[in-house]
Amino acid sequence: MLLKTPYLLFLGDAADPLAAKVAQGIKDWRPDQCIGQFRQENCNADLGIEDLTIAQACERGAKTLVVGVANRGGVISESWLAVFEEALNAGMDIASGLHNLLVDEPRLASLAEKTGRALIDVRVPQHEYPIANGVKRTGKRCLAVGTDCSVGKMYTALALEKALHKQGRAASFRATGQTGILITGDGVPLDAVVADFMAGSVEWLTPDNDAEHWDLIEGQGSLFHASYSGVTLALIHGGAPDALILCHEPTREHMRGLPGYTLPSLEQLRDMALSLAHVVNPDCKVVGISVNTASMSEAEAKKYLSDLEARMGLPAVDPFRDSAERLANALS
């Protein structure tokens, strides 16, 4: 594992709960890994877990201080640095997904070296990945693909992991982005990997496994998103999924960050993703649809999902409103 567990979650001076959404994600999906939270005086977020000092957290076995909050103004503030230094001195590693890298802070870098502790910037690839070899691996893999970026692919994969575990089945969420890596403690920051090694990094992330084990691979980008489609295709060809879940946000008016582009239909996504997946895995199937219905009423969402099921002939759920159980059932 890249990160040592358990964690103390650093919320700092979070302006509001949204600023601490990374910490919230870790607490929601890996509650057992979270010893407590560290909040500064003017913190406006609260995960509802115990507030601990650095010393208390260490005493209870915390191994890593995880920066679970977005920083303000693009710098790591003096008050944060003081806490981070305290953590390093107390024997904790520090992990962060911030744009400003921990290793670029001279005070932290020298103290980490002195104390023998690690500064782990999960945005930066921490391994040398191979070039993909396209060789079939044992075990099963499911990949979430989206009509657009930010439509719930990570949430879907995490919810699927939870649902499979609830059914007593073997499954591992495989993180490909910063937040996912902080949640699981390991993964590949795919958008920062050098082009030639993208697919290889995904093969590395999803190695041979037991025949009935499911890797639930976090999707990135979209085949239909001009900026990031290459990353998505590397996920499909490196992941060689047995199952695809289509992810969608029905009220999105244009592709994220691309005002001139409308979203593809779910049929277009299904056909394109499946054709490309068949290059590496002829048995790949689209098994279900995950819809982010956050901006719909309960009744609207229910009708939308039911219409979609009829239209596509696939289970369609919002794993946040309901659960991913029916998607898990579709993984056979």
**Residue number, 42 or 262, with CB nearest to a copy of itself:** 262
Taking CB under 8 A as the criterion, the residue among 135, 211, 299, 310 binding a copy of itself is: 135
* Tally of CB atoms within 10 A around 10: 28
Sign of CA dihedral 138, 289, 199, 2: negative
**Residue number, 48 or 260, with CB nearest to a copy of itself:** 260
Taking CB under 8 A as the criterion, the residue among 15, 81, 109, 276 binding a copy of itself is: 276
- Residue 190 near residue 176 (C-beta atoms within 8 A): yes
- 133 contributes a contact to a copy of itself by CB under 8 A: yes
- Residue 119 near residue 102 (C-beta atoms within 8 A): yes
- The residue count for the chain: 332
**Residue number, 17 or 230, with CB nearest to a copy of itself:** 230
Closest separation in Å from C-beta 248 to a copy of itself: 16
Taking CB under 8 A as the criterion, the residue among 34, 54, 149, 234 binding a copy of itself is: 234
Residue pointed to by tokens 């994600």: 25
- 231 contributes a contact to a copy of itself by CB under 8 A: yes
Taking CB under 8 A as the criterion, the residue among 261, 274, 322, 323 binding a copy of itself is: 261
Closest separation in Å from C-beta 103 to a copy of itself: 17
Closest separation in Å from C-beta 151 to a copy of itself: 16
**Residue number, 238 or 315, with CB nearest to a copy of itself:** 238
- 229 contributes a contact to a copy of itself by CB under 8 A: yes
| CA 294 – CA 132 distance, rounded (Å) | 37
Helix 78-90 crosses helix 106-115 at what angle (to 10 degrees)?
10
For residue 10, the one-letter residue type is F
- 264 contributes a contact to a copy of itself by CB under 8 A: yes
Q: What residues numbered 174-213 form the site for a copy of itself, per CB under 8 A?
A: 190-196, 198-200
# residues contacting a copy of itself (CB under 8 A): 41
Q: How would you label 162-189 residue by residue, b for 16+ Cβ within 10 Å and e otherwise?
A: bbbeeeeeebbbbbbbbbbbbbbbbbbb
| CA 113 – CA 314 distance, rounded (Å) | 53
Site pattern 237..256 for a copy of itself (x: CB under 8 A): xx-x--------------x-
- 230 contributes a contact to a copy of itself by CB under 8 A: yes
DSSP 8-class letter at 126? -
Instruction: At 74, list the tokens.
Output: 């693009």
For residue 323, the one-letter residue type is S
115: CB partners within 8 A, 6+ apart: 88, 89, 91
Interacting span for a copy of itself (CB under 8 A) from 35-43, 234-242, 297-305, 308-316: 234-242
For a copy of itself, the binding residues (CB under 8 A) are: 131-136, 190-196, 198-200, 223-224, 226-234, 237-238, 240, 255, 257-258, 260-261, 264, 272, 275-276, 279-280
